Amino acid sequence: MDNFEPLTTGLIWRNHFRASLQEGLEAPIRDRWVDSALADSLRQFQLGESSDGVHLLQYARTFGARTGDPWLGEAMALFIQEENRHAHWLGEFLRAQGEPLLKRHWVDSVFRFIRKPLGFGPMVAVLVCAEIIAVPYYTAVRRASRSEWLRAICWRLLRDEAHHLRFQAANLGTAWRRFVPLFRFGHRALLLATCVVVWREHGAVLRAGGFGFGGFVCRCLDLLDEVHAGAEASRRSYGAYSKEACVLAREEA
Ligand SMILES: [Fe+2]
Ligand SMILES: [Fe+2]
């Protein structure tokens, strides 16, 4: 582990996202399937995926320049592009069902507001909470949906989100050089609060996909433990990416 070159995180992830963005969605038949309760919920996630990430990108560039990782900015730009592609796929699906897209929602606005002034490390920590929530959520949508098209989108999103968690774990490890227990505790508290809000807004979809509140929270906390383990391993290897050490967001669908 100690033999890794320092701070190659950005380069490895830039290459990963470049390759991933070349791979389109293997969409099956574009079926029409309307379930207004699910559409209401999906709209919020579609909005969340559509962030332009201006501040995150700015922080990543500054942080990368300061820590000697010149590729981090480009990696982050491609990561944001991949998230926006998720928004595009979900938006395309919703529009085809005759469902309008959201322009704003209070949860998304609060989430964007609290991230903005934080700096790179805390911003990534907040982002990790959203990335974690996405895993049980898209798993539940995939299980609950009768649309082959939506199920194919969810399958691809879950695959991408697993990589996003690895990428952000590596970033956390670089940003939080002193990975103290207090930070872990604060991060868990933030995730728990996020779970409560998400359950309030999307509990029906999560229930339809087989999650009770307890199971949903446990799944999220397990993923956070994996992210912290990945961050810790990345920190020990001075920012280098180690495939075995980083997190695996297992697909449950
Ligand atoms: Fe996403
Ligand atoms: Fe993501």
CB 220 within 8 A of CB 106: no
Delineate the domains of the chain, giving CATH numbers in brackets: 9-21+34-236 (1.20.1260.10)
Decide: helix, strand or coil at residue 114.
helix
Which of 170, 231, 162, 224 lies closest to 192 in space, CA to CA? Answer: 224
CB 252 within 8 A of CB 139: yes
d(C-alpha 88, C-alpha 91), whole Å: 5
> Which residue would you say has higher pLDDT here, 8 or 148?
148
Ligand 1 midpoint to CA 209 (Å): 19
What confidence tens digit (pLDDT) does each residue in 84-108 have? Answer: 999 999 999 999 998 888 787 777 7
Quick one: tokens of 197? 């809000």
Per-residue model confidence (pLDDT) at position 174: 86
Ligand 1 midpoint to CA 48 (Å): 8
Average the pLDDT over each of 68-77, 186-195, 243-252 and give the range with the smallest value: 243-252
Which of 54, 3, 53 lies closest to 164 in space, CA to CA? Answer: 53
Predicted model pTM: 0.88
Is residue 193 predicted with pLDDT exceeding 70? yes
Ligand 2 midpoint to CA 161 (Å): 5
Ligand 1 midpoint to CA 196 (Å): 20
Give the rounded distance of the alpha carbon of 45 from its chain centre. Answer: 11
d(C-alpha 83, C-alpha 164), whole Å: 9
> Which residue would you say has higher pLDDT here, 119 or 133?
133
Average the pLDDT over each of 63-67, 188-192, 231-235 and give the range with the smallest value: 231-235
